[in-house]
Amino acid sequence: MSLPSLKHGTDRARSSARSCKLSDRSLPKSSSLVDPGASHRANDTPSFTPMTYYTIAELNQMSQDTFTEVLGAVYEHTPSIATQAWTQRPFQDVHHLHQSMVAIVQQMSPDETLDLIRAHPDLGSKTKMAEASVQEQSGVGLDRLTPEEFDRFQSLNQAYKNKFSFPFIVAVKNHTKASILEAFDRRLKNAVDAEKNQALDEINQIAYFRLMNLVEERLR
């Protein structure tokens, strides 16, 4: 699929300048597997910058290190997914990119899948979490819970982890506080395997929202 050209010269100049800065940047190396300790080392993965936009053309032209730096936080503390997705360039659009990342998740081993799920923070938690999670949770008011709401979220988080041994995950952009609490109650009745599949569905939905925040709207 061919991409439309930018309409304004200033946009071209801004895009070019941004690409130059990325190419000159000192870049981190990323591991080829999910890091089981990643949830405890938030500073080890690239930070998520939702207000910086890239075109598909720019993403397709990036080196593997730059691509990983830009998209490494799309999946929580698991930059290896972006690293592997880079090998599947060129991408036609953001949906093609997302599906490529989903396919990588589907090919993970059971242990890697569990590490990915466990990399996510508790909802409504006051513990340190990735920038993207902070912004997503604040968008539905989970950073402004009343003492009663906070206690309820903590109780449900603990009950869920006691049963499933991994955190409750939901794409909060699809929800309100009330609907999240309803989902907690409903999903606590699920079997472990069903809930693992649901968690992965939610993780892939979260990744889609994060990609949509990164790829420039008019060039999708």
Q: Tens digit of pLDDT for each residue in 53-73?
A: 899 999 999 999 999 999 999
The contacts of residue 216 (CB under 8 Å, 6+ apart) are: 53, 54, 55
Nearest to 157 by CA among 175, 144, 146, 142: 142
Give pLDDT tens digits along the chain (220 positions): 433 333 333 343 334 434 444 443 433 333 333 333 333 333 344 444 445 789 999 999 999 999 999 999 999 999 999 999 999 999 999 999 999 999 999 999 999 999 999 999 888 766 666 777 777 777 777 778 889 988 999 999 999 999 999 999 999 888 888 999 999 999 999 999 999 999 999 999 999 999 999 997 544 4
Residue 183 is predicted with a pLDDT of: 96
Helices assigned H by DSSP within the chain: 9-24, 56-61, 64-71, 80-85, 94-106, 110-118, 131-139, 147-164, 177-187, 192-214
Contact in structure between 104 and 84 (CB atoms under 8 Å): yes
The pair of three-digit structure tokens given for residue 189, joined into one six-digit string: 């009745």
| Domains along the chain with CATH numbers | 9-30+44-109+215-219 (no CATH), 115-207 (1.10.3330.10)
Predicted pLDDT of residue 140: 75
Of 8, 40, 120, 175, which one is the catalytic site residue?
120
Which residue type does 214 have?
A: L
Global pTM?
A: 0.73
pLDDT in tens, 181-210: 999 999 999 999 999 999 999 999 999 999
Please provide residue 100's backbone torsions phi and psi, each rounded to the nearest 5 degrees.
Answer: -65, -40
Q: Is 120 in the active site?
A: yes
